[in-house]
Structure 1
Amino acid sequence: MASVMQHGIVVPEALADHLKMKLNREGPFDYMIEQGGVIPNLEDLTLLESFLRDSIGAENDSRSIPAGFTFLGQFIDHDITLMELKMNQDDLSRRFPVTAFVNRRTPFFELDSVYGLGLEAPGSGEILFHPDGKFRLGTDTGGIEQDVPRDAETERALIGDPRNDENKIIQQIHNLFQRLHNRFIDEGQGYADARLSVMRHYQYMILNDYLARTIRKDVLEWVIEHQAPAYRALGARHGGVPVMPLEFSVAAFRFGHSQVRGGYALNDRFGAAIFSDNPDVQDLNGGRKLEPRHAIDWKFFFGTIGEGPVQPSRRIDPLLTPALRLLKSPGIPDATVDSQASPRSLAKRNLFRAAQTGLISGQSAAAAFGYKPLADDQLGLEIVPPPAGQKLIRHTPLWYYVLQEAHVQEDGQRLGEVGSRILAETFVGGMLAAHYSVLKEGWKPANPALGTMEGIAAHVTG
């Protein structure tokens, strides 16, 4: 493989092309589908949100998707999207033009959130890496390297994307990929080759494990065969600049919120709620050093449901666990206050963000892709009293539509037509737009087990 020299390090040419593009860390958001139609008002969306929660304790389990894939989806999202508003403060109760938003991540599935600007970046390189090219790892309070590295005084995570410190599960997924890189170096690869190896296994796993479980196989195969036509058309309108579709980032890829359980067992000795409003109750919120009892046994998160201790995710449908009305994510101003500008309910935030960006309805998205929209009596909106219910039936928010479509068409086991198409276009299109991707090379792992998250976790921790 051809190589070039960057900052005194020999880097494969394909990776060097990536690094050149990463230095421009501002990309646009735009619509993949032509926009139009009525945007629901915030009062109607607030009313809808009040019906989108399961009763306490109801987990509504999936039969096919293990719990770890919920947080793997969050990890992937942090790799390819970081929406910022070119204003002093975001306000979800106000409309903004699409040009007001920028993406601070690259949409190429290259583990941007883990590698940052890489070892070769002056300043940040030595924070993330040892001189030999291995990641600096964080130790838990028992001295085991299974946490992300942290500032000794503040416990702030010293990683490529601080959002990967939001909870104890995504913390340790981040750590898994750091340790996979280090394992490849232990096996004889240099820094750059190890990085490329991690990227290859990551992309292959996304296509053949994550998407294979999450979206319809026929839709994924069609989009690969036709090389993501909707995504390519979007990129062409921007002169080849990599674009993040708003239909994906604001709606369809937020389907994972419906998969979140109220709580999780991390191992056979410790489990807790994902969020708690009671400061005296242990939860799985991040932002602090791991304790040994928090170390994840990955057999609880990846594997085959029904075999061993694997926990299932929840089904994909519009009903969210009550815990997600207690959002305490970093970056939300004064998370103890619930307001239209910054609501704590995750469902409300999703609905408001779509309205803020003027996103089209689910029916319009279905028609644009050539699918038959869900019938009025399939939308599940009869629970919303009039007149809001009738208005939402005519113009159903895309995020809600994707969840209800999964429930109606696939019994919540995977996404339906519209959701699958938006994900397939974005994943396949983003990989094909990159200078390097496994789709272009037809690459497969020498060890087939490393093409799955179960295998990656076992390889790293075994």
Structure 2
Amino acid sequence: MVQMFHGLSRYDYLVKECLNAHALNDSAPFPQVFGRLFHENPVTGNLSTSHIVDAFDALVETMRTDEINDGPADAGMTFLGQFVDHDVTLDAQSAIGTRIDPRSIRNIRTPNLDLDCVYGDGPEATPFLYSPDHEGFMLMGREDNPNDLPRNCKGRALIGDPRNDENIIVSQIQGAFIQLHNILMSHVEEEDDTAKDVHDCAAMGIRSEIWSEVVAPKLMGFEQVRRFIRLHYQWIVLHEMLPAFVDQKIIDHVLAHDPFPNAPIMPAEFSGAAYRFGHATVQPTYKLKKGGDPVHLFEMLGFSPRGTESDIEMRMFFDVAGTAAQKALPVGIEMADTLFQLPGNIVGGGLEWNGHEIPLEQARKLGLRNILRDRSALKLASGQQAAAKLGLDALAPPTALTDHHIDKTPLWFYCLQEASEKGKGRLTGVGGHIVASVIIRLLRLDPESVLNLHHFEPWHGFGGADCTMGRMMEYVETHRDHVTHREDLFCG
């Protein structure tokens, strides 16, 4: 038996050790800590903490809106973006009011676009995600609702990242990937034409003898299906999700020339600021089904068994051949009023920063929480400082700050300001460069990613060259009953 590194699945070992010294990051796994793109930017000057908090609160209040304007992205892209975030980052250490060096923060997720939030560490290391009776199949659904997530006796979802159960939309994206895996595993078990397509796609870029030498025969089908889904997921992130939120000119520039060639794998500026653009794209209500009534965002909370009445139609969130999916709000400096009133099960009380008590009314504002984490914990560079480092013309700070004698804009707001003033509802400038460079670098440094398979073509079952999230979700919804051992896989 081939010796494996502790904590690595056979597939991860395959990537790390067996690609002729061209594995991840020169045969080393991606470092699972955060880092900085720019120098630390501590709070300085004579302004009191209370004055600074009031200034940021005034800035965030300028964002509040109850006017709903459609942006360029499908509504589901907001939640796919959340799913991607949960696939590549989990900071369980930084907190508002507590200073911490990003280099000391462990990233609990592997910073690869590898769907570890779905697969965990594979059947051998995380067996609670998998059927004990049917090799390579994942637990899925419940008898009361086959489209819910598998759950334990307390109603907790049995998934690779518990955050993917926090609302019923991202929960069902998670569930759809699990269902897709089991659908394709069923084809592999039946050894039909789809199984051949899965095998041929999974084999791309990896010598056949490597598979037979490293992967246990009983897990061969599982590993092939996992790679097949990973490649199409990466394709969608690169070719659909990223352009939905980032100016295509910025993406093209980053593909040709990385603006941060020596950057950490997972910068705090990405996870703590730029990638939080999604908060500004959230609608206050969504229709779950065609013809249904709008449902308030905070009526869709998860972390408990979901009834069939809350099952969504994916065509309402991802466009399929003109089905007119709902739209996300444009990336920008307007934010739905809903996110200024986070409910009690999310925010249980006020905050404290440097001896200053931040009352519950302010603590419930998501935008203010983003800025306070930046300034109190992570000490991120301001938008103007980041623009200078990138050689870009800096935007002027908003009057809500200058009226409070603050002349530098927190990075999260600055990225949204660029999108409003220059990006036509998409990230551009500093925000666009940070988000595009991190996503693209994750793919570029992974030798078996879709970005490094130049002859890759998406599967015809997902639309071929027109592969989209909508078409993948349509495939799942059409074939979700085609799962062998289906009832055996229900849990909870």
- Normalised to the residue count of structure 1, the TM-score between the two structures is 0.83
**1:107 counterpart = 2:111:** yes
The partner residue of 1:354 within 344, 350, 374 is 374
Could you tell me which amino acid in structure 1 is paired with residue 233 of structure 2?
A: Y
TM-fit CA distance, 1:326: 3.1
Q: 2:120 aligns with which of 80, 99, 116?
A: 116
- After superposition, the CA RMSD in angstroms is 3.0
Q: Residue 48 of structure 1 aligns to a residue in which SS?
A: helix
Amino acid of the structure 1 residue aligned with 2:369: R
* Mapping for residues 218-229 of structure 1, pairs under 5 Å: 218-226=249-257, 228-229=258-259
**Quick one: which of 449, 457, 461 aligns to 2:463?**
449
**Deviation for aligned residue 1:180:** 1.6
List structure 1 runs of 4+ shifted beyond 6 angstroms.
3-7, 18-21, 23-26
Q: Which amino acid is the alignment partner of residue 63 of structure 2? A: L
Aligned length: 419
In 1, Cα distance between the equivalents of 2:409 and 2:183? 47
Partner of 2:449: 437
1:17 to 1:312, Cα distance in 2 relative to 1, 3 A: farther
Aligned 8 A contact 1:167 1:285 in 2: yes
5 and 91 in structure 1: CA distance in 2 versus 1, 3 angstrom threshold: closer
* Aligned CA distance change for structure 1 residues 403 and 13 (closer, same or farther; 3 Å): same
2:263 is equivalent to residue 234 of structure 1: yes
Who is 2:244 aligned against? 213
Distance (Å, rounded) in 2 between the aligned partners of 1:140 and 1:15: 37
Q: Distance in 2 between matches of 1:37 and 1:290?
A: 44
**Mapped partners of 1:158, 1:181: distance in 2:** 15
Query: Does the CA contact (< 8 Å) of 1:29 and 1:99 recur in 2?
Result: yes
Give CA deviations for 1:164-215 in whole Å, capped at 9, x if unaligned.
0000000000011111211221221510000011110110110011112221
Task: For 1:167-316, list aligned pairs within 5 A.
Answer: 167-188=167-188, 189=195, 190-226=221-257, 228-230=258-260, 232-235=261-264, 243-268=265-290, 269-275=292-298, 283-303=299-319, 307-316=322-331
Between the two proteins, what is the percent identity of the paired residues? 31
**1:234 alignment partner AA:** A
Structure 1 residue 419 displacement after superposition: 1.4
2:295 alignment partner, SS class: strand
1:33, CA displacement in angstroms? 2.4
d(CA) in 2 for partners of 1:405, 1:324: 21
Is the contact between residue 140 and residue 289 of structure 1 (CA under 8 Å) also seen in structure 2? no
Partner Cα distance (1:221, 1:438) in 2:
16
C-alpha distance in 2 between matches for 1:20 and 1:387 = 49
Specify which of 43, 65, 73 is matched with residue 65 of structure 1. Answer: 73
Question: Aligned partners of 2:428 and 2:70: how far apart in 1?
Answer: 18
- Where do 1:54-93 residues align within 5 Å? 54-55=65-66, 58-62=67-71, 64-85=72-93, 91-93=95-97
> How far apart are the structure 2 equivalents of 1:170 and 1:5?
37
- Give me the whole-angstrom Cα distance separating, in 2, the residues matched to 1:403 and 1:75: 20
2:34 is matched by which residue type in structure 1?
Answer: F
Tell me which residue corresponds to 1:278: none
Gaps of 5+ in 2: 189-194, 196-220, 479-492
* Residue of structure 2 aligned with 1:44, choices 48, 51, 55: 55
Larger deviation, residues 26-35 vs 210-219: 26-35
Task: State whether structure 2 residue 139 is matched by structure 1 residue 136.
Answer: yes
User: Residues 262 and 4 of structure 1: is their aligned pair in 2 closer, same or farther, counting only changes over 3 Å?
Assistant: farther
Amino acid in structure 2 at the alignment position of 1:102: R
Of structures 1 and 2, the larger Rg is shown by 2
Q: How far has the Cα of 1:42 moved from its partner?
A: 3.0
DSSP-derived class of the 1:267 partner: coil
Matched, 1:147 2:152: no
Higher strand share: 1
Runs of 5+ in structure 1 lacking a partner? 236-242, 276-282
The code of the aligned residue for 1:177 comes to: F
Kindly indicate whether the alpha-carbon contact (under 8 Å) linking 1:12 and 1:192 is maintained by their aligned counterparts in 2. no
Contact 1:26 1:104 in 2 (8 A): no
**In structure 2, what residue type is equivalent to 1:248?**
F
C-alpha separation between the residues in 2 aligned to 1:140 and 1:209?
Answer: 34
Q: Specify the code of the residue in structure 2 equivalent to 1:97.
A: D
Q: Is the 8 A contact 1:82 1:104 kept in 2?
A: yes
Mapped to 2, the partners of 1:140 and 1:402 lie a distance apart of 45
Q: 2:98 & 2:35 partners in 1: Cα distance?
A: 18
Structure 1 109/17 Cα, relative in aligned 2: closer, same or farther at 3 Å?
farther
Give the residue type in structure 2 aligned to 1:155: G
Maintained 8 Å contact 2:30/2:111: no
